[in-house]
Amino acid sequence: MIVGLGALGCPAADLLARAGVGRLSLIDRDIVEATNLQRQTLFDERDAAEALPKAEAARRRLRAINSGVVIEALVEDFAAPDAERIVSPHPRPDVILDGTDNFETRYLINDVAVKLGIPYVYGAAVGTTGMAFTVIPGQTPCLRCLFPEPPAPGASATCDTAGILAPVSIIVAAAQVADAMKILLGKPERLSHTLLSFDLWTNQRLPPQRLDVSAARQPDCLCCGQRRFEFLDGQRAAEPAILCGRNSVQIAARPGTTLELAQIADRLGPHGQFILSAFHLRGTLSSGATPIGLTLFPDGRAIFEGTTDPVAARMLYARYVGV
C-alpha cells in the first residue's frame, strides 16, 4: 500500500509495478495539476488538463506498464477517522510505503502500522534533502522512537518554502522500494536498520549517510511502547489541511458524508463554471472579489484553491456546500 502519489509515491509505485509486485493499493486525496509534472513521474499534461485524481491517473499508467499487477485506486483522504478502515480490508497489505508530504499523516501511518503489526517504510524529501527508514513493529524503533514529536509549525522546511529537487525524491523512493522488496520477498534480515539521510545539493552526507538506529527503540515510546495511538485516535488531528505547494486548503466532511454532486452542480451554477465528472465536481467560484477554485468529492471533501486561510475555506464550505 502506497499512501500519497506525489514525488515519492509515483516513482515507488512505478518501480514496484515493473518489479511485478502482486497487488498495489494506491491512496491519494488530490488531483493532478501541471505543477506536479516536474517531479511526479506517473502523470502527464493530459492528466493535469483533465484534473484526474492522482490515484486514478496512477492506476491507469501502471496498468499500461504491467497489466499483471492488481491495482486498486482509492481517492480518499488518509485521515484519522478512516485510516484503519482503509488499511485493513483491501486486503491488509504486507507493507505500507510513505509517499506523503506532511508530518501529521506520517505519524498517523506509524500509528496504524504499529497497531496492526504492518511494516512501514518511511520516506521524506524536501528541498535538496532526503530521508528514509523502515519500521518493523515489535522489532525496530518506530517513527516516534526516533522523532517523539512532529516539528513545531514553521520550524522545518516544506515544499511550499523549499520546493523539491526531483532527483532527491527518486533516490528516497528507490531506497524505500528496496526495503519493501526485502520485506515482500521474506528477507527482513537484509534490512539495514539505519536512517538514510543526505543533501544532494550541498553534498553533505554524500554518499548518503546511514545512521545506525538499531538500538534507538524506546521502551516508553508513546506509540510502540505504551501503545497510545494519539494520531489514529484523532487526538492530534489538525483540520483543515493546507495542501503542500498548492495555495489550497482541504476541508474534510463528517465521517459517512455522501454528496449528490449533480445537485450541487446545479446549485453552484449561478456562482461560477463547474464541470462534473465521475470522480469530482470542479470549477471556479467567481461570486467573490477573488476567484476561488473548488474541487468537491463525493465523500464531502473540498479543496479550495487560491487561499491558504483555513477560516476562509471553512466559510466558503459552509456557504457553498452547506454540509
Beta bridge partners of 159: none
* Structural contact between residues 96 and 27, judged by C-beta atoms closer than 8 angstroms: no
User: Smallest Cα–Cα separation from 87: which of 71, 109, 59, 69?
Assistant: 109
Q: How many CB atoms lie within 10 A of CB 204?
A: 12
What's the predicted TM-score (pTM) here? 0.84
Euclidean distance between CA atoms 137 and 117, whole angstroms:
5
Is the per-residue pLDDT at 211 higher than 80? yes
Burial level of 91, CB count in 10 A (0-12/13-18/19+)?
Answer: exposed
Helix (H), strand (E) at residue 70: strand 70-74
Instruction: Note the pLDDT of residue 102.
Output: 83
Q: Catalytic residues, which ones?
A: 159
Place of cell 520477498: 185
Instruction: Note the pLDDT of residue 140.
Output: 96
Q: How many CB atoms lie within 10 A of CB 133?
A: 28
Question: Residue type for 80, please?
Answer: A
DSSP 5: -
Instruction: Note the pLDDT of residue 87.
Output: 95
pLDDT winner (highest mean) among 100-109, 170-179, 263-272, 283-292: 170-179
Confidence class of residue 202 from pLDDT cuts 50, 70 and 90?
confident
pLDDT tens track for 12-35: 999 999 999 999 999 998 899 898
Instruction: Note the pLDDT of residue 160.
Output: 56
Instruction: Note the pLDDT of residue 61.
Output: 98
Instruction: Note the pLDDT of residue 319.
Output: 80
What is the residue-averaged pLDDT of the chain?
A: 90
Exposure string (b/e) for 100-127, b if CB count within 10 Å is 16 or more?
bbbbbbbbbbbbbbbbbebbbbbbbbbb
